[in-house]
Amino acid sequence: MNPYAKLTFLMSLMLGTTITASSNHWVSAWAGLEINTLAIIPLISKSHHPRAIEAAIKYFLVQAAASTLLLFSSMINAWHTGQWDITQLNHPTSSLLLTTAIAMKLGLVPFHFWFPEV
């Protein structure tokens, strides 16, 4: 991999992490998570081995499903409370969906089957 491309992916990985950690709005947190996902996929699949490509596809599909759940959770919360602020997570369904989405993204125990293969 070109060193400039690798540097660009690592810088965008740091940018996505910074955006996610410093956001107060659900959409900006989601955007930071998506920047992280799009930055790590080329780093996973940089060796053109079929297992690396398979791992990158699995990673992308799991992260896309978790991002969808995160957006759905924020939409339910905004619908019931009228707030898009991260600190105002009051609806129980929204809290459950957010916990599920984060567990999928981190590869925690009921959603960990994709993690060892990646």
Residue 20 falls inside a structural domain: yes
d(CA 82, CA 96): 18
Residue 31 reports pLDDT greater than 90: yes
Residue 112 falls inside a structural domain: no
pLDDT at 101: 92
Residue 117 falls inside a structural domain: no
Considering its fold, how many domains does the chain have in total? Answer: 1
CATH of the domain at 51: 1.10.287
Question: Average per-residue pLDDT in the chain?
Answer: 88
User: Whole domain around residue 72: which residue ranges?
Assistant: 3-106
The pair of three-digit structure tokens given for residue 85, joined into one six-digit string: 């602020």
CA-wise closest residue to 35 among 9, 66, 6: 9
Residue 43 falls inside a structural domain: yes
Residue 113 falls inside a structural domain: no
Distances (CA, A) of 6 to 25, 40, 88, 90: 29, 10, 38, 41
pLDDT at 89: 85
